[in-house]
Amino acid sequence: MKLSCEIVQDLLPLVVEGLSSEQTQAAVIEHVAVCSECRRVKLQLEQDVVPKIAPEVPLREVKNAITAKRRRTVAGAVGMVLAVVFCVFARLTEPVWLPYSNDLLTVEALEVGDLVVTVSQPHSGITVDSAGGETTLSVWKNAISPQNDRETVVIPREQLGSALYYADFAGEDTLIWGSTSADGRQTLPRLVMGYYLVIAAGSVVILGILAVVVRKKKLGKPLFYLWLAPVCYLIAHLGVMGLNTITADAVRSLGWILAAAICLYLAAVSFIRLGWRRH
Ligand SMILES: [Zn+2]
């Protein structure tokens, strides 16, 4: 069958899309094999058809979605792992204050007025704290620090004040050198972590109620993410300190709790956005 170029070019769109009869297709292909002009038109049509079958833009969107999914999965997993690592490390390095006993330490006053304290029981460290004209000394150990069997610290005269106490944060301090008029001195453990815990728990309740009330509105999502912050703080507190709220070193405890809470928050947001994306 002999076809003119005009007819072939009219038929080419149907042939390229596979919508023509076998007879037409055979005739057009026969023509195209010997006519360079129609071959050029056919090639052009084929290039136009390809993007229709596999559109470029949605493909890129699918790729982006997969990348975002992977990124969120990784961020969530890293956050969770770091939070657990911080909690475990905080517990392993948590100082345990040794209770005072007569054979825990000896005190010797030098002629210049300096005081030499020798600790002769296994311990990880000695903390000396001078405030208000008196000095407080504590001996502690933790699970992972190397332990000394014997250690000497010198407290210079100018730092010493009028009295040296031993504090184990469990009861009354023990006067180990000097004199004082006050009885029943007690170095209180820091209670501030308990206050933070109450504030966090209160925020969880109040923000939780607010988030539920406005959940259908524009503020619902931001409030939910805000609510998540004190929730992560509570979980981090449990991880670092358990149900305990008393610490002798509030800065240390708060630091570990915040580090764990931020990682938890990052993980929670990543996993939640991963879940929402799927629907
Ligand atoms: Zn032709």
Q: Count up the domains in the chain and report the number.
A: 3
Is the domain of 205 the same as that of 87?
yes
Q: What's the CA-to-centroid distance between 7 and ligand 1, angstroms?
A: 9
Do 120 and 167 reside in the same domain of the chain? yes
Last residue of a domain, one of 178, 207, 227: 178
Global pTM value = 0.67
Ligand 1 center–CA 29 separation, angstroms:
10
Residue 22 belongs to a domain = yes
Nearest CA among 209, 253, 261 for reference residue 235: 261
* Contact yes or no for 235/261 (Cβ under 8 A): yes
Residue of 148, 176, 150, 172 lying closest to 163 (CA atoms):
176
Q: Looking up tokens 């000695």, which residue turns up?
A: 126
Ligand 1 centre distance from Cα of residue 17 (Å): 19
| Residue 263 resides in a domain | yes
What is the 32 CA–ligand 1 centroid distance (Å)?
Answer: 6
CB 105 within 8 A of CB 119: yes
Strand pairing report for 96-97 and 134-141: antiparallel
End-to-end Cα, the chain, rounded Å: 56
Q: Are residues 259 and 196 in the same domain?
A: yes
186 part of a folded domain: no
Reported confidence tier of residue 50, pLDDT bands at 50, 70, 90: low
The residue from 118, 143, 178 where one domain ends is: 178
204 with 236, same domain: the answer is yes
Q: How far is the CA of 54 from the centre of ligand 1 (A)?
A: 29
125 in the same domain as 101: yes
Whether 84 and 110 share a structural domain: no
Task: Let me know whether 106 and 219 are in one domain.
Answer: no
What percent of the chain is predicted at pLDDT more than 90?
54
pLDDT > 70: percent of the chain: 93
Residue 206 has pLDDT above 50, yes or no: yes
Whether residues 119 and 49 fall in one domain: no
Domain annotation covers residue 185: no
Instruction: Give the number of other Cβ atoms within 10 Å of residue 112's Cβ.
Output: 7
Examine the pLDDT at 215 and tell me if it is beyond 70.
yes
Asked whether residue 55 carries a pLDDT value surpassing 70, the answer given is no
What is the CA(37)–ligand 1 centre distance, in A? 6
Are 38 and 66 within one domain?
no
User: Do 256 and 141 reside in the same domain of the chain?
Assistant: no
pLDDT single digits (tens) 168-198: 887 788 899 888 766 677 777 677 889 999 9
Instruction: Classify residue 184: in a domain, yes or no.
Output: no
Rounded CA separation 160/115 (Å): 8
| Residues ≥6 apart with Cβ < 8 Å to 198 | none
pLDDT in tens, 216-237: 888 889 999 999 999 999 999 9
70-84: per-residue pLDDT in tens?
889 999 999 999 999
| pLDDT tier for residue 132 given thresholds of 50, 70 and 90 | confident
Q: Does 65 lie in the same domain as 203?
A: yes
Q: Are residues 105 and 174 in the same domain?
A: yes
Domain that includes residue 132, residue range: 96-178
